């Protein structure tokens, strides 16, 4: 799930791929409050996963976001 998230961050939100790893802090990845709102919408439209911006803002790293996406997609798959 990390690679999918990385692709979204790079392709849709113009993050630099070289700056991203699972341990990269959300701040270092450029995820401010506005970008997190965009990411939330992209996750919903592209992956069909509902994750609210406030949930993303509570996470510390890009890897934490990937884990949350994985949990939600598993829950959705049922």
pLDDT in tens, 27-65: 999 999 999 999 999 999 999 999 999 999 999 999 999
Beta bridge partners of 61: 25
Domain that residue 26 falls in: 2-77
CATH code of the domain in which 26 resides: 1.10.1200.10
Mean pLDDT computed over 15-26: 96
- Distance between CA atoms of 21 and 5, rounded to whole angstroms? 11
| Burial class of 23 by CB neighbour count within 10 A (0 to 12, 13 to 18, 19+) | exposed
Contact 12, 48 (CB under 8 A): no
pLDDT at residue 74 in the model: 85
3-class DSSP assignment, residue 22 = coil
Mean pLDDT computed over 66-72: 96
Give the count of domains, the chain: 1
pLDDT at residue 78 in the model: 67
Taking all residues of the chain, what is their mean pLDDT, rounded to a whole number? 94
């Amino acid at each position: 799930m990390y690679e999918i998230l990385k692709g979204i961050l790079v392709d849709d939100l113009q993050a630099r791929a070289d700056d991203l790893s699972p341990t990269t802090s959300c701040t270092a990845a450029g995820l401010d409050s506005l970008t997190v709102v965009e990411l939330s919408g992209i996750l919903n439209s592209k992956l069909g996963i509902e994750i609210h911006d406030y949930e993303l803002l509570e996470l510390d790293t890009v890897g934490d976001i990937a884990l949350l996406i994985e949990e939600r997609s598993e829950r959705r798959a049922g």
